[in-house]
Amino acid sequence: MKYVNPFKLSNRVFFSDKKFDLFHKVFIIITLSFLTFIISPLNAKAKEFTNNDTIVDIKLINGPNFYPSSTINFNVEFDLSNKEVEPGDILNISIPEGLLIPKDTHIEFKDDNGNILAIGQEKDGKIAIIFTEKVLGKENIHGFLNLGLKIQPDILPLGKNILEFEINSGTVPIEINIEERIEDLSKKGKILELPDGRKAIKWTIIANRNEISMNNLVLTDTIIDNKLLYTPEGLQVYTGQWSDVKKSSYKRKKLLSRGIDYQIAEAQSDVTINFSNGNQMYIIDLFTVIKDPKSIETIGETFKNNAIISWIDDNGKKTTSKTSSRVVIKDSGSGIGGNNKPPVVDPTDPTDPTDPTDPTVPTDPTDPTDPTDPTDPTDPTDPTDPTDPTNPTDPTVPTDPTDPTDPTDPTDPTDPTDPTDPTDPTDPTDPTDPTVPTDPTDQHTVENKRSQIMTKNILFHKFNLPQTGTSEHLWVVIIGLILLCVGVIMSKYRKFF
């Protein structure tokens, strides 16, 4: 059976088929372009900024004394100048250990025109500020926010605590003091919208916080602010329980029934509740409607409310505890700003060169000026009269000759020195023995030696004629060389002569 390469067959089918028409090619190109367009944004990763490169300052707004259940408010300032900020980028603000960000945190960052440039919310224990598409075209982004954080009493004990925030210049320590709450009554308020659209304040009252024995417990809430109106809708009473031993948070346990578990008397300006059993903690929610809804748009507007409880202790003594609460309208607690980026201007087309100017017409030469007339010569001056000769001076008187000096006496002659004695003559040296005469060499050796001597004399130009002893001349040198050559030839080849 013949083996067929599936890859080769595939190449032949898909890439060599002449019927692969233009429609299929266009379809594939469009499909690939669409996939590229879809996948590319997924690959673009949003930039993330942190405390260390954006937070420039953080300050404590309230305190410094807090209860374990208190909310600590901070003002945080951030600056992203000289950073490119795009939609989807995130600024993650981390907080110190021992603090919690409420899960329902929602912060809108608006510019001066009301555009929402970013939204902040809790994410993984941090404040995540996510920038919107409105940030396009902005630069030098900077802003602030008011951040409310809850205390974690299992981490931050009672007493002094140091909170350390990381910012771009290092660590900022903030000191707080956590105290135990000992009062029996507390109250807080929060603005919200009722189902029918009216603006209201929800007041939450905690009675018998310490869960002591309270006989004939009575709660009275008085609406002292004429800008508020009590509404019976929504009033609910619960038994409560602390979530921790430091009483930092609580939970509602059982919803109580009106007329059975408690008795209530309501009016436009107050409400009174009588409890049949005062030996436990109660949580009461009631609502007051804001008469002028626009008043909540006024920064600094304040709404007040008072509450008081009374009871009989086990010793028969009547005791009271009261508290007051207020809600202050604040600004959004956040803000953001930035400059619009300058538009990108396309380079202008180059201007056409200016036409060259015509050369100037040469001016006609000026006519030569007539020569000036010669000036008359000046008249000669008369000769000056000669001056009279001066009288000759008298000759000087000759000086007298000086007297001759006396001759000096001759010096006395010196005595002659005594002659030195002659030295003794030295003995003559003994005569040396005569050298033994060497045997005479043969005629051939004598001729060769003579030839060598003559050659040496010729080379150093230091020979004399043997007969006369006169100095050499050029013709003598030439004749000597000729004779030397003839002698050498005859000596070497004498057998032929």
The CATH number linked to 74 is 2.60.40.1280
How many distinct structural domains can be found in the chain?
A: 2
Is the predicted pLDDT of residue 103 greater than 70, yes or no?
yes
CA 344/CA 248 separation, integer angstroms? 56
Return the higher-pLDDT residue of 88 and 466.
88
Q: What is the pLDDT of residues 113-146, one digit of tens each?
A: 889 999 999 999 999 999 999 999 888 999 999 9
Task: Kindly provide the residue ranges of all beta strands, DSSP E only, lying in 418-497, ordered along the sequence.
Answer: none
Q: Are strands 270-275 and 262-266 parallel, antiparallel or unpaired?
A: antiparallel
Domain that holds residue 88: 48-178
Bigger pLDDT: 270 vs 496: 270
Whether the pLDDT of residue 475 is over 50: the answer is yes
Q: Has residue 250 been placed in a domain?
A: yes
What single letter denotes the amino acid at residue 78? F
Residues 108, 190 within the same domain: no
Give CA–CA dist 360/356, Å, rounded. 12
Mean pLDDT of 295-305: 86
Are residue 255 and residue 166 in the same domain, yes or no?
no
Tell me, yes or no, whether 409 lies in a domain: no
Task: Let me know whether 67 and 159 are in one domain.
Answer: yes
Do 88 and 202 have their domain in common?
A: no
CATH number, domain of 311, equals 2.60.40.740
Percentage of the chain exceeding pLDDT 90: 43
Using CB atoms within 10 A of its CB, is residue 308 exposed (0-12), middle (13-18) or buried (19+)? middle
Compute CA 17 distance to the chain's CA centroid, rounded to the nearest angstrom: 60
Per-residue CA distances from 68 to 94, 157, 181, 244 (Å): 21, 9, 8, 10
Is residue 154 domain-shared with residue 288, that is, in the same domain?
no
Q: What is the pLDDT of residues 366-414, one digit of tens each?
A: 665 665 665 666 665 665 665 665 665 665 665 665 665 665 665 665 6
How far is the C-alpha of 230 from the C-alpha of 245, rounded, in Å? 34
Residue 290 placed within a domain? yes
In degrees rounded to 5, what are phi and psi of residue 6?
-65, -30
Q: Are residues 217 and 241 in the same domain?
A: yes
Give the β-pairing of 90-93 and 48-49.
parallel
- Amino acid of residue 96: P
Residues 167 and 254 in one domain: no
pLDDT digits (tens, 9 = 90+) for 8-26: 444 444 444 554 455 555 5
Last residue of a domain, one of 268, 301, 336: 336
- Domain termination site, one of 277, 305, 336: 336
Q: Are residues 103 and 243 in the same domain?
A: no
- Nearest alpha-carbon partner for 73 in 156, 137, 150, 155: 150
Q: What is the C-alpha to C-alpha distance for residues 243 and 249, in angstroms, rounded to an integer?
A: 6
User: Same domain, yes or no, for 60 and 76?
Assistant: yes
Could you read off the pLDDT of 185-231 as tens digits, one per residue? Answer: 999 999 999 999 999 999 999 999 999 999 999 999 998 889 999 98
Note the Cα 187 to chain centre separation in Å: 51
**What was the pLDDT predicted at 178?**
95
DSSP 62: S
Taking the complete model, does pTM exceed 0.85, yes or no?
no
- Angle of helix 474-492 relative to helix 443-460, nearest 10 degrees, comes to 150
Find, among 286, 245, 246, the residue nearest to 266 by Cα.
286
Same domain for 173 and 254: no
Question: Pick from 122, 154, 178: which residue ends a domain?
Answer: 178
Q: Could you tell me if 97 and 200 lie in one domain?
A: no
Q: What is the mean pLDDT of residues 343-349?
A: 51
Instruction: Output the CA torsion sign for 442, 447, 452, 456.
Output: positive
What does the pLDDT average to over 466-492? 68
Indicate if 90 and 137 belong to the same structural domain: yes
* Mean pLDDT, the chain, integer: 77
Distance CA 190, CA 104 (A): 14
Give residues with Cβ within 8 angstroms of 217, minimum separation 6. 207, 208, 274, 275, 278, 282, 309, 310, 311
Find the helix or strand (DSSP H, E) in which 252 lies.
strand 250-255
**Rounded mean pLDDT of 269-295?**
92
Residue 74 belongs to a domain? yes
